[in-house]
Amino acid sequence: MFIANKRMYMTADLTHRYRVENTDFQKRKLRNRGDEIRARLYYYPRMGARPVHYLKIVKSIVSGALPIGLTRRLRKYIHR
């Protein structure tokens, strides 16, 4: 939407509640992250992303390559 110069607005209202289930980690394997990584590589330059934003691509690759149990424990540790 930003690339197409569409207006977006922020609201203080909660419009979506997101939670991570244990089964979600099974979908986060590296083989399932290809579309996400390709989209980031395509859109980041068009949005003027800074080099630090590209670290999210590295994070996605690393977390997709790690065993699911380790990823789950790291997430709990980081998000305390």
pLDDT at 17 over 80: no
Residues 6+ apart with CB under 8 A from 23: none
Q: What percent of the chain has pLDDT over 70?
A: 82
- Section 72-78 average pLDDT: 81
Distance CA 72, CA 26 (A): 10
Angle CA 51–39–48, to nearest 5:
35
Local confidence band at 64 (pLDDT 50, 70, 90 cut-offs): confident
- Section 36-52 average pLDDT: 90
Alpha helical stretches, state H, 9-54? 34-47
pTM attached to this predicted model: 0.56
Distance CA 40, CA 56 (A): 9
Instruction: Identify the weakest region by mean pLDDT among 29-33, 38-42, 45-49, 74-78.
Output: 29-33
Domain-by-domain residue ranges, the chain? 22-78
